[in-house]
Amino acid sequence: MSKLGAVVAEAAYEAQVARAIATLQAELPTLFDQDLTYDIYTQDIFFQDPVNTFKGKFNYRIIFWTLRFHGRLFFTTLGFDLHRVEQTSPDTIRADWTVRGRLRLPWQAQIWFNGYSLYRLNAQGYIDRHIDTWDRPPGEILRQFLPGKSTAKNL
């Protein structure tokens, strides 16, 4: 590749990364309310969290649809607080967040957990890998549902 070609490729990469970051900042806070745009992800995106592992944009879209559907069904309030989105290395974006909600139960169980998402970027600046890490295991988070066990405040 010529020097000019390399400069053009690098500029295109940086523009796509900036677009990915801006899209994540705009869309993640509303992921329980509205669908995302999926043009910043590759067709074969890999996703993993403490409960799910799969590959493919179709499955990726389904997981977010499922979150919205079950969120509306089981929660009276449900929020995704995005604390920060930043590029932590040339091929990685990190998003720090908190999920919080109140279940449709007579004792109004509250749930909350913190986590972060790591998004790996391919050579063109598109996200090809999304790994979520939660601050507690799923079983511990589910125990918040039990009467008298809720620890969330000020939802």
| 154 domain-assigned | no
| 118 domain-assigned | yes
Alpha-carbon separation of residue 57 from 32, 44, 50, 146 (angstroms): 18, 6, 19, 35
CA-closest candidate to residue 120, choices 112, 110, 130, 111: 130
Amino acid 135: pLDDT: 94
> Is the per-residue pLDDT at 100 higher than 70?
yes
Number of domains in the chain: 1
> Is the per-residue pLDDT at 153 higher than 70?
no
CATH of residue 56: 3.10.450.50
| 151 domain-assigned | no
| 30 domain-assigned | yes
Amino acid 40: pLDDT: 98
Amino acid 147: pLDDT: 62
| 155 domain-assigned | no
Lowest mean pLDDT among 89-93, 96-100, 111-115, 117-121: 111-115
Q: Give me the domain span that covers residue 113.
A: 3-145
| 150 domain-assigned | no
Instruction: Give phi and psi for 21, each to the nearest 5.
Output: -65, -45
| 17 domain-assigned | yes
93: pLDDT confidence band, cut at 50, 70 and 90?
A: very high
Q: Using DSSP, state whether 84 is helix, strand or coil.
A: strand
> Is the per-residue pLDDT at 61 higher than 90?
yes
Query: Which of the two residues, 140 and 145, has the higher pLDDT score?
Result: 140
| 134 domain-assigned | yes
